[in-house]
């Protein structure tokens, strides 16, 4: 892939770009401010630059006169780079020199196929496997039963002793053996230290052995279809580290249809108590699962009857609802789930449309608010194998936190609120088309530079945009550490609104809705509460074990949302502890990392229960220290300035410059 140089004037800083990279994207990731208020949609005309030299593809625009266009004026968001270029950032976009050229560090992002870099030593040895076997036909001398013949030959030919047999195998065994002329493929499931015969098919289907792994989220269901038979005997890690992940045949996500009955776990638990509520919720999630499976099978081009195994992981409430277990007592003190460990379940008994030999392994939970999704994350991220002290954070409506290493693990969950998913924020939204996801504010002019998902006209702000804008408002001094707006008329974009003072990110003519998009004091207050809950949860967990922030060696950020967070900004507002950026790792969907490893390795599957038993839950809702830490964290970044020394140094510098 060609690599080009992009030089920005007047700062004379140079950055690299790939063929067809968008110039506004390059500026954003390079820390060069260019005004942009339509999210890169090409409508506001604010992102004007002057092309000094080089090869780009950039159409003319109604806001650029033919004369200006002839002189090299272009819109950065409409400019694709095709060679080395030199670009002049116009005066209205320039920031003062102290803010120039600050570059974002490499984001430390690992994708699911990078799992091999996280977990060591597991071999491909699926818990559900197939064997093709040729049986001698019965004679008067050798007239033992069909089942005895099959198990005898499995023992003598394959060295596998199978003491247990699924009754459904018995019902079809006589016919299949004879129709297959005594050549059959058996499917065997590892159950603890023993084996169970779960299926028998005619002929050789040994190499058609697939599994489906599913992350059952409150909002989204993500699934992968894995090839268990053709991964050879290489280590999982070698396999997953290869250029193309040959083990994953397809991947698909869809909304959890339970959303129509409530957005979060509490509203779903309440709904489950209504007449037929539990039944409707179970049908909704199973319906969504069936759709995901249909897509996975169709895009992989395999026969659905060759799927032998399913692995589920979800939070405790989602797991209860999927299995049709009453979740009522999860939300009532003392917060008791029906069970934390789940037996293998025949998937057809749930309504999942797969063969009746297929059983599901469900990841166990630790407590009502620390579920199988977190266990999958801890396993998939390799945290359970690390010697160093690791903090694992999964941020959603609930902040789930695990602290530990290979010897000990402690966990906690705190209600973070829905701010990062758009809840309680006037223009909040999930990270869909038109969501403002990155924001920079010029510290001299206070003009914003915003980027939206899909470069569409902005329609709202998603979680990462919210973190960015609050951090930028703080750093430019437009808000103070309590989140209160400057009332001295520093910026024309700060004004009194219906919900207190607000900052206009994008004016109506530039937005997709025709309305001004603003961030209000009440939005900022909600964000402060959310980040305070997460930080306080981490602090209580650290204190309960006598571990200081500086003793944390690695911070693993899980969850799809985590990918898009700007680490520096998240530290600036006090969401994450102030640690060197190199200590942070984003693992994306850590639940998928865990479920896929459990499907590939029976060894790993055993670890799941071990790790769950090892984990100690610290209940925060009953912990007075949590409330103290929460109140102390209700400040940007924190009331104790000593725990965020670098952020404070920067903020003091900004204040001095402003004076």
Interface with ligand FES (CB under 6 A), residue from 44, 321, 354, 425? 44
Give yes or no for a contact between 428 and 407, defined as CB atoms under 8 angstroms apart.
no
Place of tokens 């937005």: 511
The yes or no reply on residue 322 touching ligand FES (CB under 6 A) is no
Q: Among the residues of 159-249, which ranges form H helices?
A: 167-179, 236-241
The CB-of-73 to ligand FES minimum distance in angstroms stands at 12
Which of 229, 335, 351 has its CA nearest to residue 620? Answer: 335
Give the three-state DSSP class for 409: strand
H or E element that contains 380: helix 372-380
Q: Which is nearer to ligand FES, 47 or 567 (CB)?
A: 47
Question: Does the footprint of ligand FES cover residue 50 (CB under 6 A)?
Answer: no
Which two tokens mark 58? 């950039």
Which C-beta is closer to ligand FES: that of 38 or that of 177? 38
Strands (E), 25-176: 48-57, 73-75, 80-88, 128-134, 164-165
Considering the complex, state which of residue 188 and residue 436 has its C-beta at the smaller distance from ligand FES: 436
Residue 37: which of 428, 426, 429, 439 has the closest Cα? 439
Q: Which is nearer to ligand FES, 36 or 177 (CB)?
A: 36
Give the CA diameter of the chain. Answer: 103
Does residue 40 bind ligand FES (CB under 6 A)?
Answer: yes
Question: Nearest approach, Cβ of 452 to ligand FES (angstroms)?
Answer: 9
The least CB distance from residue 490 to ligand FES, in Å, is 23
Question: What angle in degrees, to the nearest 10, is found between the helix axes of 590-600 and 372-380?
Answer: 80
Residue with smaller CB distance to ligand FES, 24 or 409: 24
Shortest approach of ligand FES to residue 34 CB, angstroms? 8
- Concatenating the DSSP letter of every residue in 502-569 gives EEEEE-GGGSSSSSPEEEEHHHHHHHHHHHHHHHHHHHHHHHHTT--GGG--EEEEESGGGGG--HHH
Helix axes 372-380, 602-614, angle to 10 degrees: 120
Which lies closer to ligand FES via its Cβ, residue 343 or residue 454?
A: 454
Q: By C-beta, is 47 or 416 nearer to ligand FES?
A: 47
**Helix, strand, coil tally for the chain in percent (to 5):** 35, 25, 35
Tell me how far apart the terminal alpha carbons of the chain are, to the nearest angstrom: 47
Q: How near is the Cβ of 320 to ligand FES at its closest, in Å? A: 46
Close Cβ partners of 25 (under 8 Å, ≥ 6 residues apart): 40, 451
Per CB under 6 A, 438 contacts ligand FES: no
Q: Is 453 in the site for ligand FES (CB under 6 A)?
A: no
Q: Are strands 390-395 and 409-415 parallel, antiparallel or unpaired?
A: unpaired
Determine, following the binding rule CB under 6 A, whether residue 404 of this chain makes contact with ligand FES: no
Q: Interface residues for ligand FES in 68-97 (CB under 6 A)?
A: 75, 77
Rule CB under 6 A: say whether 43 interacts with ligand FES: yes
Residue 498 CB-density burial (10 A; 0-12 exposed, 13-18 middle, 19+ buried): exposed
Q: Which stretch binds ligand FES (CB under 6 A): 36-44, 65-73, 93-101, 561-569?
A: 36-44
Nearest distance from C-beta of residue 93 to ligand FES, angstroms: 11
| Tokens standing for residue 406 | 């290979």
Among residues 129, 131, 166, 127, the alpha carbon closest in space to that of 311 is found at 127
The verdict on 180 binding ligand FES (CB under 6 A) reads no
Pick the piece of the chain touching ligand FES (CB under 6 A) from 45-53, 288-296, 435-443, 481-489.
45-53
With CB under 6 A as the contact rule, the residue among 26, 27, 31, 46 that binds ligand FES is: 46
45 lies in the binding site for ligand FES (CB under 6 A): yes
Q: How many residues bind ligand FES (CB under 6 A)?
A: 12
- Which one of the spans 40-48, 289-297, 371-379, 513-521 is the region binding ligand FES (CB under 6 A)? 40-48
Q: Which two tokens stand for residue 239?
A: 């396999």
Which range of residues in 39-47, 251-259, 480-488, 526-534 is near ligand FES by CB under 6 A? Answer: 39-47
Nearer to ligand FES, 92 or 649 (CB): 92
Does 231 engage in binding with ligand FES (CB under 6 A)? no
Closest distance to ligand FES from the beta carbon of 14 (Å) = 22
Q: Does 497 bind ligand FES (CB under 6 A)?
A: no
Q: Does 637 bind ligand FES (CB under 6 A)?
A: no
Instruction: For Cα atoms 642, 398, 388, give the angle at the middle one, nearest 5 degrees.
Output: 55
Measured CA to CA, the distance from residue 565 to residue 465 in angstroms comes to 8
Is 504 among the residues that bind ligand FES (CB under 6 A)?
no
Residue whose CB is less far from ligand FES, 43 or 362:
43
Q: Would you tell me how many other CB atoms lie within 10 Å of the CB of residue 439?
A: 27
Considering the complex, state which of residue 73 and residue 395 has its C-beta at the smaller distance from ligand FES.
73
Query: Is 36 among the residues that bind ligand FES (CB under 6 A)?
Result: yes
Helix (H, G, I), strand (E, B) or coil at 2: coil
Q: Which span (38-46, 87-95, 184-192, 360-368) binds ligand FES, by CB under 6 A?
A: 38-46
**Residue 45 beta carbon to ligand FES: minimum distance, rounded to whole angstroms:** 5
Could you tell me which stretch among 37-45, 239-247, 463-471, 581-589 binds ligand FES (CB under 6 A)?
37-45
The residues that touch ligand FES, with contacts defined as CB under 6 A, are 36, 38, 40-47, 75, 77
């Amino acid at each position: 892939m060609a690599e080009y140089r992009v030089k920005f004037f007047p700062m004379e800083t140079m950055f690299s770009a790939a063929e067809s990279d968008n110039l506004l994207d390059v500026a954003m990731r390079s820390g060069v401010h260019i005004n942009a208020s339509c999210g890169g949609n090409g409508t506001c005309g604010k992102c004007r630059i002057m092309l000094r030299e080089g090869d780009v593809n950039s159409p003319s625009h109604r806001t650029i006169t033919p004369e200006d266009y002839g002189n090299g004026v272009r819109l950065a968001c409409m400019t694709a780079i095709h060679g080395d270029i030199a670009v002049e950032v116009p005066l209205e976009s320039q920031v003062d020199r102290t803010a120039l050229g600050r570059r974002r560090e490499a984001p430390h992002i690992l994708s699911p196929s990078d799992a091999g870099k996280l977990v060591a030593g597991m071999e491909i040895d699926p818990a559900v496997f197939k064997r093709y076997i040729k049986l001698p036909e019965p004679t008067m001398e050798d007239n033992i039963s069909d089942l005895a013949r099959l198990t005898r030959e499995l023992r003598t030919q394959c060295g596998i002793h199978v003491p247990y047999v699924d009754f459904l195998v018995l019902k079809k065994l006589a016919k299949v053996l004879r129709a297959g002329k005594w050549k059959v493929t058996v499917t065997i499931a590892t159950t603890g230290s023993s084996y169970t015969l779960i299926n028998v098919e005619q002929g050789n289907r040994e190499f058609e052995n697939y599994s489906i792994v599913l992350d059952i989220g409150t909002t989204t269901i993500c699934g992968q279809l894995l090839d268990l038979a053709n991964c050879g005997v290489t280590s999982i890690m070698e396999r997953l580290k290869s250029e193309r992940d040959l083990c994953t045949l397809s991947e698909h996500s869809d909304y959890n249809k339970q959303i129509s009955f409530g957005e979060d776990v509490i509203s779903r638990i309440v709904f489950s108590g209504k007449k037929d509520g539990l039944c409707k919720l179970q049908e909704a999630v199973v319906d969504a699962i069936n759709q995901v499976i249909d897509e996975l099978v169709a895009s992989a081009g395999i026969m659905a009857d060759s799927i032998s195994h399913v692995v589920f992981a979800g939070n405790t409430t989602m797991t209860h609802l999927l299995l049709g277990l009453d979740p009522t007592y999860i939300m009532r003190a003392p917060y008791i789930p029906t069970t934390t460990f789940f037996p293998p379940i025949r998937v057809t008994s749930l309504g999942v449309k797969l063969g009746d030999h297929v059983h599901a392994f469900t990841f166990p939970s630790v407590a009502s608010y620390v579920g199988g999704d977190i266990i999958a994350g801890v396993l998939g991220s390799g945290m359970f194998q690390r010697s160093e002290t690791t903090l694992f954070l999964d941020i959603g409506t609930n902040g789930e936190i695990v602290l530990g290493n290979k010897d000990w693990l402690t966990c906690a969950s705190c209600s973070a609120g829905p701010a990062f998913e758009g809840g309680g924020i006037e223009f909040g939204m999930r990270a869909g088309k038109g969501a403002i996801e990155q924001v920079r504010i010029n510290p001299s002019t206070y003009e914003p530079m915003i980027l939206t998902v899909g470069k569409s006209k902005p329609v709202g702000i998603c979680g990462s945009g919210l973190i960015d804008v609050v951090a930028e408002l703080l750093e430019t001094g437009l808000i103070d550490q309590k989140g209160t707006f400057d009332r001295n008329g520093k910026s024309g974009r700060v004004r009194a609104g219906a919900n207190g003072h607000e900052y206009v990110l994008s004016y109506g003519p530039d937005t997709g809705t025709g309305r001004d998009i603003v961030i209000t004091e009440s939005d900022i207050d909600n964000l402060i509460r959310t980040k305070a809950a997460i930080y306080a949860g981490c602090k209580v967990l650290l204190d309960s074990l006598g571990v200081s922030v500086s003793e944390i060696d690695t911070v693993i950020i899980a969850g799809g949302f985590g990918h898009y967070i700007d680490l520096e900004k998240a530290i600036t507002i006090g969401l994450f502890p102030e640690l060197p950026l190199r200590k942070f790792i984003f693992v994306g969907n850590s639940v998928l990392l865990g479920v896929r490893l459990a499907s590939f390795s029976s060894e790993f599957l055993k670890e799941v229960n071990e790790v769950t038993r090892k984990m100690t839950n610290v209940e925060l809702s009953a912990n007075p220290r949590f409330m103290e830490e929460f109140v102390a964290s209700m400040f940007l970044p924190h009331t104790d300035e000593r725990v965020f020394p670098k952020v404070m140094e920067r903020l003091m510098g900004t204040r001095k410059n402003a004076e």
